Amino acid sequence: MYFDAMEMEMDMHRSRMLIDGQSVHSLSGQTAIIRNPANQDPVGVVSVGDSRDAGLALEAAQRALPAWKESSPEMRGRLLHSGAENVLRRADEIARMLTLEVGKPLKDSRREVEAAARVLDYYAEEGRRVFGQWIQSEKGRSLVVREPIGVAVAITPWNYPVDLTSWKVGPALAAGCTMVVKPPSKAPLAATAFSLAVHEGGLPPGVLNVVHGPGSVVGAELVENPISRKISLTGETETGRWIMEHAATRIKRLSLELGGSAPFIVCPDADIESAALSCARRAFANAGQLCISVNRIYVAEEVADRFIPLLVRGAKALVVGDGQKPDVDMGPLFSQDQLERTKEHIADAVLKGAEILCGGRPPEGEEYELGYFFLPTVLDHVDHSMRVMQEETFGPVAPIMRVASIDEAISFANDSRYGLAAYIYTQDLLFGLRAAERLEAGSVCVNTVSPVDLHTPFGGWKESGLGRELSSSGIDEYLEVKHIRLGL
């Protein structure tokens, strides 16, 4: 039985898979219940697939490929625009699902869905700008063209499941690739509803498919099956490493957007108020479950006593609660694992000499008892022996280290296996630029904490990943270069 009587009775979202234009159950008939991290209420029931379903989705994408890659960029653009319109039409419903399954405040969910529609609109136009070259030489003429890679796979995480799906679906489809999406297994509802809305914008069957299930089964099949030619993952560094190893068998093209541990440097001449406000925003947005979260704060000794109280004030001002309530700034963490990791990192820091300036525990009260809530936490006097500075906490923790010089701050900032985003606050823009040149990260922000912009490339250095998303670089990831030589 697919959705059993108990599941049907509950007022829950039912999420099937999308294969070859059809909304289908998994072959095994297995289902899983999705729960609200704010209170454990069941909010959805989802078909759970296995490698057979993944295989069927890849075959459907393969069948749809020849016609899709032959279609004009204008037509693909029209269908992507129409998908974006559909997404916006259903934005309230998709945003509500997102809040129910991952816990983030409803206003943030709504922003995420709108951003995802903008990504589709952007690539609807960018697809027309896949140009080639005509090269003349002594013995011949050459045409250099860029062609879609083939069947592409998108594997996405739970923290921004809708937006990050659009980062892959938009450029892949615009480039002429067909795609299989595997949403995060514990939060597949909103990403599936988004993909359905895109499909119902008029895509031919098989161009966009969605399969649900565990990464180790469904994700693994999508990576290893010879049909897929391109894998785009956003997820943990360890998952990226696994995919890289297994995709190596057939030398598949990869885009890997992985973990981060972003440094935030406060220079002596910084606008301290603005730095503290921005720091609080970027450390605690989405309860710190963000790959570009501020993870390590290096503040110049001489301004630390001005900066720190302002950061603490910003942390304490945040309203923590169920994301469905309109005044809430920060929802629960996504899972028990996230909560445990956050607690462990704080305990490790305290044991090694850090001081908790605020937070450091779950909020008190009946409304918090069943959820994975945790207060925004500021730690002072941390050092690089602590896990908060070495690993990705993915929780609402802002650890501060006081530094004697900005040279010292930069060398600590670079002392990380990650290199996704870095932030520096200074009023001397030239100094900021020189510092940006020395920081090892895919995005460096001077006096802002917004590295993500539709028009600019986003991606990581070192163990934060490979390849770039967004901008014209995002579409390059789905194109192969072909040289056509004409002999004279």
| Active site members | 257, 291
Q: Which of 178, 185, 192, 295 lies at the binding interface for ligand NAD (CB under 6 A)?
A: 185
Interacting residues with ligand NAD between 410 and 449 (CB under 6 A)? 420
Question: b/e for 209-234, b at 16 or more Cβ within 10 A?
Answer: bbbbbebebbbbbbbbbebbbbbbbb
Q: CA-CA distances (angstroms) from residue 313 to 111, 281, 423?
A: 25, 12, 20
Question: Among 239, 306, 227, 229, which Cα is nearest to 266's?
Answer: 306
Q: How many CB atoms lie within 10 A of CB 40?
A: 11
CB of 317 to ligand NAD, least distance (A): 26
Q: Which of 460, 467, 474, 479 lies at the binding interface for ligand NAD (CB under 6 A)?
A: 460
Q: Which of 38, 258, 279, 378 lies at the binding interface for ligand NAD (CB under 6 A)?
A: 258
Q: Which is nearer to ligand NAD, 105 or 260 (CB)?
A: 260
Q: Which of 170, 259, 288, 419 lies at the binding interface for ligand NAD (CB under 6 A)?
A: 259
Q: Are 441 and 424 in contact (CB under 8 A)?
A: no
Say how far apart CA 109 and CA 348 lie, in whole Å.
Answer: 33
- Total number of residues that touch ligand NAD (CB under 6 A): 32
Tokens linked to 179: 């795609």
Q: Which distant-in-sequence residues (6+ apart) come within 8 Å of 353 by Cβ?
A: 381, 383
Phi-psi region of 327 (alpha: psi -120 to 50; beta: other; left: phi over 0): alpha
CB of 167 to ligand NAD, least distance (A): 8
CB of 460 to ligand NAD, least distance (A): 6
Q: Which is nearer to ligand NAD, 86 or 156 (CB)?
A: 156
Interacting residues with ligand NAD between 215 and 234 (CB under 6 A)? 215-216, 219-220, 223, 233-234
Tokens linked to 110: 């709504």
Stretch in the footprint of ligand NAD (CB under 6 A) among 200-208, 211-219, 303-311, 355-363:
211-219
Q: Which of 49, 157, 176, 451 lies at the binding interface for ligand NAD (CB under 6 A)?
A: 157
What is the DSSP secondary-structure string of 234-287?
ES-HHHHHHHHHHHGGGT-EEEEE----EEEEE-TTS-HHHHHHHHHHHHHGGG
Q: Which is nearer to ligand NAD, 49 or 432 (CB)?
A: 49
Q: Please tell me whether residue 178 binds ligand NAD under the rule CB under 6 A.
A: no
Partnered with residue 479 across adjacent β-strands are: 148
CA dihedral 40, 115, 470, 454 (to 10 degrees): -140
Question: Among 316, 305, 313, 294, which Cα is nearest to 425's?
Answer: 294
Q: Please tell me whether residue 155 binds ligand NAD under the rule CB under 6 A.
A: yes
Taking the alpha carbons at both ends of the chain, their separation in whole angstroms is 66
Interacting residues with ligand NAD between 264 and 323 (CB under 6 A)? 291
Stretch in the footprint of ligand NAD (CB under 6 A) among 116-124, 155-163, 317-325, 479-487:
155-163
Say how far apart CA 227 and CA 152 lie, in whole Å.
Answer: 9
Q: Which is nearer to ligand NAD, 214 or 363 (CB)?
A: 214
| Residue that is written with structure tokens 């980062």 in the block | 167
Partnered with residue 421 across adjacent β-strands are: 443
Q: Which is nearer to ligand NAD, 156 or 225 (CB)?
A: 156
CB of 218 to ligand NAD, least distance (A): 8
Say how far apart CA 150 and CA 66 lie, in whole Å.
Answer: 9
CB of 332 to ligand NAD, least distance (A): 15
Stretch in the footprint of ligand NAD (CB under 6 A) among 2-10, 98-106, 178-186, 403-411:
178-186
Q: Which of 159, 228, 255, 426 lies at the binding interface for ligand NAD (CB under 6 A)?
A: 159
Q: Which is nearer to ligand NAD, 54 or 303 (CB)?
A: 54
Class of residue 139 by CB neighbours under 10 A (exposed 0-12, middle 13-18, buried 19+): exposed
Q: Which of 77, 171, 235, 432 lies at the binding interface for ligand NAD (CB under 6 A)?
A: 235
Interacting residues with ligand NAD between 56 and 75 (CB under 6 A)? none
Binding site residues, ligand NAD, CB under 6 A: 155-160, 182, 184-185, 215-216, 219-220, 223, 233-236, 239, 242-243, 257-260, 291, 392, 394, 420, 460, 464-465
